[in-house]
Amino acid sequence: MSQDLTGRVAIVTGAGRGLGQAYSLALAKAGARIVAADVIDSSETVEQVSAIGGEAIAVSADVTSTEQMNDMARSAVDAFGRIDILVNNAALYGGLSKMSSMLDLSEDEWDTVMDINVKGVWKAARAVVPQMSQQKYGKIINISSGTIFMGMPGLMHYVTSKGAVWAMSRVMSRELGPAGIRVNCVTPGFTMTQASEDLMTKAGNTDTKQRVASMSPLGRSQQEDDLTGTIVFLSSVASDFITGQTLNVDGGVTHG
């Protein structure tokens, strides 16, 4: 079955760099028109999409703001007439101040992580549902993390937030299914993005990349492009009878 996304419109949050940018480019290569949403400038992502012959707009959007999420959805409809796909990718990860044990973790950082990583996913999804419901079709892909299967010392706030994303995806799939909206969750492994590099540097764990690679049956570290095929598949008609599921993409490091 085809994974051609021609005529589809995809919103990607956190699209300004890293995995969000990679997801945007992969969806554009499959034919989707892209709404690159981020609190940072997403013009580079738009330029890269244009360079491969795609269409994209950049939208300044903070996932913690209900108003800005609603504006994001309106911008997508104003520009392209519909919303078919939401990739809920925006999260606080590499920007964490440091890795902290549960005893040393500050309440302020806990609350910030929950606001972005949990409430942000809910708010972005809530913003696109009216348009998807009107169309009687839509795909929401929530990005969780393979850390929810492992536990990760020093990142209790992050792991907990991503566990919530997994749980929300189950609820969303049941609530939104009657409207023709499929909701699935992806749990990436430790991917070699700039955010991962930044976090390793702050923690002084320079051997993490090698250790994680050695845990995979495939014997190598995970790269951004290892995830993009899954995102395109879940966005396409090829996955129309899949909802409420979690796809663990980590090279076999865990068995979630």
Buried b / exposed e over 118-139, threshold 16 CB at 10 Å, is: bebbbbbbebbbebbeeeebbb
Q: pLDDT band at residue 95, thresholds of 50, 70 and 90?
A: low
Q: pLDDT tens digits for 65-89? A: 999 999 999 999 999 999 999 999 9
Which comes out higher in pLDDT, residue 162 or 256? 162
Query: Residue 130's pLDDT is what?
Result: 98
Tell me the per-residue pLDDT of 133-153, one tens digit each, with 9 for 90 and over: 999 999 999 999 999 998 888
Residue 30: give its domain's CATH number: 3.40.50.720
Q: What percent of the chain has pLDDT over 90?
A: 72
The answer to whether residue 93 is catalytic is no
The DSSP element (H or E) to which 182 belongs, if any, is strand 181-188
DSSP state of 222: B
* 220 neighbors 251 (Cβ within 8 angstroms): yes
Catalytic site residue from 23, 93, 137, 158: 158
Q: Report if residue 233 sits inside a domain.
A: yes
Domain extent for 91? 9-191+226-249
Q: Is residue 219 part of a domain?
A: no
Domain assignment of residue 217, yes or no: no
- Residue 209 belongs to a domain: no
Q: Is residue 210 part of a domain?
A: no
22 close to 225: Cβ distance less than 8 angstroms: yes
Residue 78, in any domain of the structure: yes
CA 181 to chain centre: 17
What's the CA gap between 84 and 233, in Å, rounded? Answer: 14
Short-list 112, 101, 134, CA closest to 63: 112
Residue 134 lies in a domain: yes
Say if residues 45 and 11 touch (Cβ distance below 8 Å): no
| Residue 166 falls inside a structural domain | yes
- If one counts the domains in the chain, the total is 1
